């Protein structure tokens, strides 16, 4: 995965999250944690967009492979509002993996 592909990948993840959040009523108490996670991930994406970093290393490939794996897990739950706990756990894992990329590759 290249730097640009990573940015697109995270953007696509945010879109899936936006659609999932949109399925909930605005006053739904379950919505708030997802909105917070979405905003956190959006801030991380902004950091990645603004900085140049080396994406051609084996370590970067390993980190993006982890994101791809987590994204596959998300696809299993995000279509079903009844699986909010599993979806939130997966979103949290994804955010952690993106944070690890930022900590590792952005000075």
Q: Residues 18-43: pLDDT tens digits? A: 999 999 999 999 999 999 999 999 99
How many C-beta atoms surround the C-beta of residue 30 within 10 A? 14
Distance CA 10, CA 44 (A): 9
pLDDT at residue 63, rounded to an integer:
94
Tokens 């879109």, residue located: 15
DSSP-assigned letter for residue 83: G
Provide the pLDDT for residue 54: 84
Q: For the whole model, what pTM was predicted? A: 0.90
Q: Model confidence over 39-96: pLDDT tens digits?
A: 999 999 999 999 988 888 899 999 999 999 999 999 888 888 888 999 999 999 999 9
User: Distance between CA atoms of 92 and 80, rounded to whole angstroms?
Assistant: 17
- Would the pLDDT of 1 be above 80? yes
């Amino acid at each position: 995965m290249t730097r640009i592909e990573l940015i697109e990948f995270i953007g696509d993840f945010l879109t899936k999250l936006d659609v999932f959040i949109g399925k909930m009523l605005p006053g739904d108490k379950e919505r708030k944690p997802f909105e917070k996670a979405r905003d956190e991930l959006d801030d991380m994406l902004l950091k990645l967009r603004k900085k140049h970093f080396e994406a051609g290393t084996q370590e970067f490939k390993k980190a993006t492979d982890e994101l791809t794996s987590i994204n596959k897990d998300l696809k299993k739950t995000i279509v079903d509002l009844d699986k909010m706990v599993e979806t939130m756990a997966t979103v949290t894992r994804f955010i952690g993996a993106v944070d690890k990329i930022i900590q590792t590759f952005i000075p």
